[in-house]
Structure 1
Amino acid sequence: MDRVLAVSENSPIKNFSLKCRKGFEPDCINRHVLNRGVKDLDLDVDAKDGYSLPFEIFTCNTLVGLKLTGFSIDVIPEDASLPALKSVMFYSLHACAFEKLLSACPLLQDLFINDLNWEQWKWSRSLSSPSLERLAIERTEFYGFDGSDFGSITFDIPNITHLDYCELYYCNLIV
């Protein structure tokens, strides 16, 4: 049985949370929600390869909080700009154009990353953000990765007040 919630098309949406397990196509609902001035967006999908996010998410001027579970962020548009985004939480993100995403978030204060696949991310293993104050990275599962090509991670976060970095497989934090 399909469920539809009728809401006026002009009503603003402050918080939007969606948890989907099968057959989810995020494009149309996300575009509709983003056009309504959403401030906090929480999307959780169950997908082995991850869903790609619609480009409109990366140019949303009203988004302050973003929580993503089960997505891939393979490509970020050249005009990416999230000027109000202050808090990002990633859970089981399959792939991410990480540095491009961070550079689009000039006010980012909180970054939480849980159970990621670093080896699939497009990044230089350097995390740099002048506005970041709180960072938590937690990795507890390694999907067929033996650690042989992991390398080190460099942090350039001058305003950090809280750092929590944990890996079950490998941990070497130098502050």
Structure 2
Amino acid sequence: MDLFSSLPNELLYHILSFLSTKEAALTSVLSKRWRNLFAFVPYLEFDDSVFLHPEERKREKEGILQSFMDFVDRVLDLHGDSLIKTFSLKCKTGVDSDHVDRWICNVLARGVSDLDLFIDFRDLYSLPHEVGVSRTLVVLRVGSESDLYWWQKFLCLPMLKTLVLDSCWLCIGQFQILLLACPALEELDMTNTRWKDSNVTVSSSILKELTIDLHGCCSVVNLKSLSFDAPSLVYFYYCDSLAEDYPQVNLKNLVEAQINLLLTQAQIEQVRALNNEMLVADDVFPGLGNAWKLITGLRNVQQLYLSPDTLEVL
């Protein structure tokens, strides 16, 4: 008898949890006991790029895409009604969206607490509405190389503590709804997230970490005002075009802040001309004179990092 044969299933599940689901499935050939053991690991990870084309990243034969979808279906079927703690799904163009919806709803119904989705379809894709009303999600990551609607109508995520959005849409008024609908939210990370509001307020008494990184993202609108009322925030990363105004900045407990204001060449030239007294105030791009409001609101920060463009405008 080998060492693994004497171990209880629970310990084997833990060992298999360090592997991707595809890698764990390969252990099914070891013996009869291992045949379906991988399917009971509560941590599932599916990546179509690894499954379909691990080396050349191209499909080499017909039917392999269907085999990926069948594999995911089989694993979820073998799980039955067992609890799933973590579900990671990375899909690109070619996987049927109905399958994706069904998989997501399946794990949500079984109490998944950590959901990691990277979905990239040719057409604009909207996640099933069940994602926005989960009462078990603690961590939610949603990403895409194109634009994606991550919630449609109603939103209520009472247990959510960490939210990561990459290349997602936020329609008018949705950002305020998001903060109200996630009363336990402690970490918010928005990368290349497009919002349509021209006036945005980040208001939360419990938010601890905030990342706004819109570098390389073409905004739908230029922000007229951006306010921060987050007295519990300890980490703040802000990389975006300069808003016209920062009427309120209440970040009194910050430990670390990184500020990278993205200026156009025209704005930089205006700032330098203003410093040389070649421009009058009315000629200055709106917001250049208000950047100080953002910085002075970080009055108690222990570590402050400012980009060269940010220093230009101060």
Q: Same fold (TM over 0.5)?
A: yes
Question: For residues 144 and 115 of structure 1, do their structure 2 counterparts lie closer, same or farther at Cα, with a shift above 3 Å needed?
Answer: closer
Q: How does 1:20-59 map to 2 (within 5 A)?
A: 20-24=91-95, 25=97, 26-47=100-121, 50-59=124-133
Deviation string, structure 1 residues 118-147 (Cα, Å, up to 9, x no partner): 3x3x574111122211111111113376x7
1:136-164 Cα deviation digits (max 9, x unpaired): 1111113376x7x3322111112111111
Pair 123,152 (structure 1): closer, same or farther in 2 beyond 3 Å: closer
Q: Distance in 2 between matches of 1:48 and 1:135?
A: 30
2:227 aligned with 1:154: yes
Unaligned runs of 5+ in 2: 1-63, 243-260, 262-290, 298-314
Contact 2:199–2:223 at 8 Å: present in 1 too? Answer: no
- CA RMSD between the two structures: 2.2
1:14 matched to 2:88? The reply is no
For 1:161 and 1:23, locate their aligned partners in 2 and report how far apart those are by CA, in whole Å: 42
Structure whose residues are more often helix by fraction: 2
Q: Which has the larger radius of gyration?
A: 2
Aligned letter for 1:95? L
Aligned counterparts of 1:74 and 1:109: Cα–Cα separation in 2 = 19
TM-score (norm 1): 0.84
What secondary structure does 2:159 align onto? coil
Counterparts of residues 1-175 of structure 1 (less than 5 Å)? 1=64, 2-3=67-68, 4=71, 5-6=74-75, 7-24=78-95, 25=97, 26-47=100-121, 50-70=124-144, 71-73=148-150, 75-77=152-154, 80-96=155-171, 97-118=174-195, 120=196, 124-143=199-218, 149-167=222-240, 169-170=241-242, 171=261, 172=291, 173-174=294-295, 175=297
| Offset from partner CA, 1:72-131 (integer Å, 9 cap, x none) | 146331xx321110000111113352221221111100001111223x3x5741111222
Residues 91 and 54 (structure 1), Cα distance of their counterparts in 2 relative to 1, 3 Å cut = same
User: Among the aligned pairs, what percent are the same residue?
Assistant: 35
Query: What stretches of structure 1 of length at least 5 have no aligned partner?
Result: none
Partner SS, residue 164 of structure 1:
strand
Q: Which runs of 4+ in 1 moved over 4 A?
A: none
Letter in 2 for 1:60: S
Matched residues, number = 168
User: Residues 48 and 37 (structure 1 numbering): CA distance in 2 closer, same or farther, change over 3 Å?
Assistant: same
TM-score between both structures, scaled by the size of structure 2: 0.49
CA–CA separation in structure 1 for the residues paired with 2:198 and 2:180: 12
Instruction: Provide the C-alpha distance between the structure 2 equivalents of 1:104 and 1:28, rounded to a whole number of angstroms.
Output: 24
